């Protein structure tokens, strides 16, 4: 396993048939299900995690130059079922970020493509985990 400073954990509790509550170590909760309610599905949560992780990276790298006037991220992928089983096809993350006019906004605009590339290629733990071969094991307690 890993040392405690690098360990990330969450737990999941069944609330009812195909309805669950996830809890993190800080006490935060969210509900998820199979898609027949407004709760997020696990696949949607994966897409949100990709967008959120990269958004944090991009925000850190650009907002120190200028606060954005708009910061929206869309993420989508087709859900596939083929010889490899169920999985997502290529995931596309699209940033729409605007900055104010002026020298600070110009610096932030110049940094935006660099920040997106750094997040994609190195910084975003979620997208890097999806891109790299990452073993996933299942056990029964």
- Give residue-wise pLDDT tens across range 10-43: 999 999 999 999 999 999 999 999 999 999 999 9
Between CA 97 and CA 112 the distance in angstroms is 8
> Residue 28: left if φ>0, alpha if ψ -120 to 50, beta else—which one?
beta
pLDDT score for 1: 54
Reading the block at residue 4, the tokens are 């405690």
pLDDT score for 72: 98
Q: What is the pLDDT of residues 75-122, one digit of tens each?
A: 999 999 999 999 999 999 999 999 999 999 999 999 999 999 999 999
Fold of the domain spanning 41-131? GMP Synthetase; Chain A, domain 3 (3.30.300)
pLDDT score for 43: 97
Sign of CA dihedral 76, 41, 43, 71: positive
Residue entry with tokens 């083929």? 82
User: How far is the CA of 60 from the CAs of 36, 54, 64, 125, 141, in angstroms?
Assistant: 36, 10, 7, 15, 40
Q: Is the pTM of this model over 0.75?
A: yes
Contact 1, 9 (CB under 8 A): no
Average pLDDT, the chain: 96
């Amino acid at each position: 396993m890993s040392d405690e400073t690098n360990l990330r954990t969450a737990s999941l509790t069944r609330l009812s048939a195909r309805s669950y509550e996830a809890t993190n170590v800080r006490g935060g909760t969210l509900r998820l299900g199979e898609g027949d309610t407004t709760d997020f599905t696990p696949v949607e949560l994966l897409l949100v995690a990709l967008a959120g992780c990269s958004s944090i990276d991009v925000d850190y790298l650009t907002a120190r130059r200028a606060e954005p006037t708009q910061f929206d991220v869309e993420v989508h992928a087709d859900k596939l079922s083929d010889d490899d089983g169920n999985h997502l096809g290529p995931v596309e993350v699209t940033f729409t970020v605007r900055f104010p006019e002026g020298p600070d906004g110009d610096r932030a605009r110049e940094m935006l493509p660099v920040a997106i590339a750094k997040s994609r290629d190195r910084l975003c733990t979620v997208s890097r985990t999806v891109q790299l071969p990452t073993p996933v094991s299942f056990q029964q307690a």
